[in-house]
Amino acid sequence: MNSSINFTSGSLMYTKKLADKVAIVTGGGQGVGLGIARSLATEGACLVLTGRTQSKLTQAAEEMSALGSQVLVVPGDTRNRADAARTVELAIERFGRVDALVNNAQSSNPGVPLESVTDDDWTNTLESGLYGTLYLMQAVLPHMKAQGRGAIVNFGSRTGIEGLKGFGAYAATKEGIRGLSRVAAREWGAYGITVNVICPAALTPAAEAYLEANPQERTRYLSEIALGRFGDPELDIGRTVAFLCSDDANFITGQTISVDGGQSML
């Protein structure tokens, strides 16, 4: 397989960073996951898109195929270990390898005071995020280990780092993911596997709905962002993920990267 693809536009030559690489994206049918899929496809990656809604995945796959990407759709629930194993097995069956794993999928119920968090809120948020991230990481490990390389990108949140009100279950889940990622980076670095975390500030349909229901939050959030705007799922978040999945980031691991326009400065 070719390691890169060059094409010329005018006098410029561009090399696709992820040509012939295979990436799994959870929650790849909507929101940030869809933006990430677009960016990875643009950079030449073959994609495995997984999520709970078949129709959204199918629509996303059609779009990615139009961008020139080979796409496999695997409906599944990140809360289910068997679904995680099946996703990786089908990826190997179709493409023969997995070079990158992007654990984006996450369910949550924002705006709930900690004293009002129910068992269902807690379980759904924790299992869809922390458990799902662990299940997929464990499923890809043997294959990345055999390859001697791989990139894993997980998702944290400013809500956990700063302890924002109304995000108890979500904040706990995202901090759990950050801790898990650091341990994996330590343990799996010997196999050439990088593990990093992104904390995004992206304007997705779900975020838009929350901000419309809480207009004061929109004003406050924007006032905190140095660049004065929310991130774009593809052009801002997706491009950062593509970089971390590329060979350009082979010496970056165990890091938390805030892709939020300067809302948080660690």
- Residues taking part in catalysis: 170
At position 16, the amino acid (one-letter code) is K
Q: Token pair 């590329």 is at which residue?
A: 246
Residue 26 backbone phi and psi in degrees, to 5: -85, 145
